Structure 1
Amino acid sequence: MKILQLCKKFPYPLKDGESIAVTYLSKALNQLGCKMTLLTMNTKKHYFNINELPDNYDHYQSIHFTDVNNEVKPFDAFLNLFSEDSYHISRFISPEFELKLIALLKSNHFDIVQIETVHLAPYIPIIRQYSDAKIAMRAHNVEFEIWQRIADNTRFFPKKWYLNHLTKKLKRYEVGQLKQYDMMVAITQRDLDFFKKLGYKNKGIATPIGLDISDYEPNYKTFNQELSLSFIGALDWMPNYEGLMWFLENVWQQLSERFPNLKFHIAGRHTPDSLMNLKMKNVKVYGEIPDANQFINAHSIMVVPLLSGGGMRAKILEGMALGKVILSTTLGLEGIEAQHEKEVFIADTPKEIIENISFAIQNKKHLLRMGQNARSFVTENFDNLNIARRLEKEYRKMKMGKLTRNDVMI
């Protein structure tokens, strides 16, 4: 089976959830015998020099890319206020990308075109015109829901109004596209159910992020050391920044007063200068670090204080695969059915967070068991090859016309 995968940014290096989700699934599909082709935008913000790809990044038959500058431009954003178009989507419309897509569709026969995120839905008419391939939308999130949650958490009225304005147009577009897909490949069952409530009626599959557990070597020795907290995430993604600042402003001072030796370590790409220059007791900010696994492995507890966002957090899965204890909000664990105090800590308020960390400091042996349970949980539920095998089976059924509308994979 020949699959063309369309991406809005180069899916390497594996430093964010989208790249991890794209790469591990495509690698597993290739292992199962699918012939994978990649067409991706190489954006200015996430630019990657393809000559730096490692030799083992070899699961694609061919890789094609187009440089795209889709940075937010103040004047364009202002003009968009008077347009019905979604600015979230219009920034990804590229004539050069369209031409490369046409050339690929003309010179190859693909069975499936797998579109990674709704941002590339504008190219569906081109796919229909030049190919008879089935179109699968891999929805990493319900995009408008992320922005609605951010808007709801915003207090400054002008910004809140603007975010609500953008969200309204994004929702109109995202919901309007639901009828265009032959299959919805949602990251979580919860998201798939939500899309159905919004009017999606075709074939639907819940396909979570999968990992190759052999890539993650746990370091359980950290549980014998003084407990420390870590946070890692791209800080140009608003939900990450919002959640981290909430934690620093509403939780950390109380934690630090109660546990004066406790240290908090923060890492992430695109860390703003205001955070790099942060002067707060026992808080160390690293910015971008060369090895995320090494950073996560150095600390007992990984904090995920998300207040908005959507889909599934790959970094939580990676932390669990490394045998770390995750302390997350309920929202942060969407799509990951781990149990409180067995595989993770779940806390939604400053009081709950402090209580859980207090418990952790007093029960280090329990932390070790939780870390071991977390790794077992990911191994059993998020193995990329098992996930890809189920998806590949459904793709073949769709290709042969045997998949019914109500077929749903969990």
Structure 2
Amino acid sequence: MRILQLSKKFPFPPKDGESIAILQMSKALHNSGCEMSLLAMNTSKHRVDLTKGLPKELAYYARIETVNVDNKIRWTEAFKNIFSEESYHITRFISAEFSIKLEQLLQEETYDIIQLETLYLAPFLSIIKKYSKAMVVLRAHNIEHEIWQRIAMQVPSLPKKLYLNYLSKKLRNFEIKSLNDYDFLVAITDRDLVQFKSLGYKNGCLASPVGFEVLENQIDYSAFNRPMMLSFIGSLDWMPNIEAVRWFVQEVWPVLMNKFPDLQFHIAGRNAPKDISDINQKNIFSWGSS
């Protein structure tokens, strides 16, 4: 079976949940006998230097194509979008160059499945259906509009809250409108799958959590003799993760410390905001990364 993955970011190195989810599934499918290909945006936000060639860790892919995409937030475009029905979250990833490369790839190759990694690839469905008869699968890493609804709820500034609510509403409309344009949907969790069905999804579907390879000789059993620890590992330049850490520290950590005074909490993630990177609370440690 020949499968083409479409991604809005180059999924290497695997430093965030989205990249890990993409690579773990592609390796699992490859190990099951599928021939994997990848067409990925190399965005201005997550630009990966590929001038020295592709990472050897991705050699299991039969073909990899990348397109540089400038998806920087531009306030003039964001302002104009206020008067449009289109979702600014989505339009930021619409690229003529990516469309051309996808069209070229579909004319050169025949695929059994084309897998969209996240909702943000949905604008390219018309090209896929014009040039391919492959089954179209959405790998839904999240219910995207829910994330932005939750962010809006946490914002103290009323103007910003109103703006984010407006954006999340347009994203929700797009997400629901696109739902049944896919032949199959793969959610990360059972809960998300139930939600997609409640939003009107009617085609084939399943929940497939992210898998991890754990090797016996990589386990450090001496860790069981150390003080109890909790850890957070995730990108700290992504607002949902930032909000999650702040909420945990403010709402949950004091309760845990009362019950387990020796408990430690370790935070690791790139580009952490100052209030997290310089956190000064008992038994909380922040480990930054680039």
Q: TM-score, normalised by structure 1?
A: 0.66
Q: Distance in 1 between matches of 2:132 and 2:69?
A: 24
Q: 1:28 to 1:159 in 2, by over 3 A?
A: same
Shift in Å at residue 58 of structure 1? 1.5
Partner in structure 2 of residue 42 of structure 1? 42
Which deviates the most, 196-205 or 147-156? Answer: 147-156
What is the DSSP-based 3-state SS (H/G/I as helix, E as strand, rest coil) of the residue aligned with 2:245? helix
Shift in Å at residue 36 of structure 1? 0.9
Q: Distance in 1 between matches of 2:263 and 2:41?
A: 42
CA contact (8 A) 2:118 2:141 kept: yes
Amino acid at match of 2:29: L
Partner in structure 1 of residue 165 of structure 2? 164
Q: Distance in 1 between matches of 2:95 and 2:168?
A: 22
Please give the residue correspondences for 1:230-241 in structure 2 after superposition, counting only pairs within 5 Å.
230-241=231-242
Q: What are the superposed Cα offsets for residues 36-58 of structure 1, whole Å, 9 maximum, x if unpaired? A: 11000011211112337542322
Shift in Å at residue 228 of structure 1? 3.5
CA RMSD of aligned residues (A): 2.2
Amino acid at match of 1:49: D
Please give the residue correspondences for 1:8-407 in structure 2 after superposition, counting only pairs within 5 Å.
8-50=8-50, 51=52, 53-214=54-215, 217-252=218-253, 262-288=263-289
Shift in Å at residue 138 of structure 1? 1.0
Amino acid at match of 2:266: H
Which deviates the most, 87-96 or 30-39? Answer: 30-39
What is the DSSP-based 3-state SS (H/G/I as helix, E as strand, rest coil) of the residue aligned with 1:30? helix
What is the DSSP-based 3-state SS (H/G/I as helix, E as strand, rest coil) of the residue aligned with 1:177? helix
Q: What are the superposed Cα offsets for residues 108-138 of structure 1, whole Å, 9 maximum, x if unpaired? A: 1111111111101000000111111111111
What is the DSSP-based 3-state SS (H/G/I as helix, E as strand, rest coil) of the residue aligned with 2:11? coil
Q: Distance in 1 between matches of 2:167 and 2:217?
A: 39
Shift in Å at residue 219 of structure 1? 1.9
Which deviates the most, 73-82 or 162-171? Answer: 73-82
What is the DSSP-based 3-state SS (H/G/I as helix, E as strand, rest coil) of the residue aligned with 2:58? coil
What is the DSSP-based 3-state SS (H/G/I as helix, E as strand, rest coil) of the residue aligned with 1:114? strand
Q: Distance in 2 between matches of 1:71 and 1:215?
A: 42
Q: 1:279 to 1:2 in 2, by over 3 A?
A: same
Amino acid at match of 1:40: A
Q: TM-score, normalised by structure 2?
A: 0.91
What is the DSSP-based 3-state SS (H/G/I as helix, E as strand, rest coil) of the residue aligned with 2:171? helix
Q: 1:215 to 1:33 in 2, by over 3 A?
A: farther
Shift in Å at residue 200 of structure 1? 1.4
Partner in structure 2 of residue 315 of structure 1? none
| Structure possessing the higher relative contact order (Cα contacts under 8 Å, 6 or more residues apart) | 1
What is the DSSP-based 3-state SS (H/G/I as helix, E as strand, rest coil) of the residue aligned with 1:60? coil
| Alignment length (residue pairs) | 289
Partner in structure 2 of residue 354 of structure 1? none
Amino acid at match of 2:199: L
Amino acid at match of 2:147: I
Shift in Å at residue 285 of structure 1? 2.1
Can you give the 5+ residue segments of structure 2 that lack an aligned partner in the other structure? none
Q: Distance in 1 between matches of 2:257 and 2:190?
A: 38
Q: What are the superposed Cα offsets for residues 222-277 of structure 1, whole Å, 9 maximum, x if unpaired? A: 22123344322111221211121123334445666776655432210121234333
Q: 1:56 to 1:203 in 2, by over 3 A?
A: same
Can you give the 5+ residue segments of structure 1 that lack an aligned partner in the other structure? 290-410
Q: What are the superposed Cα offsets for residues 149-205 of structure 1, whole Å, 9 maximum, x if unpaired? A: 222333432222111101100010000001211111222222222212211122222
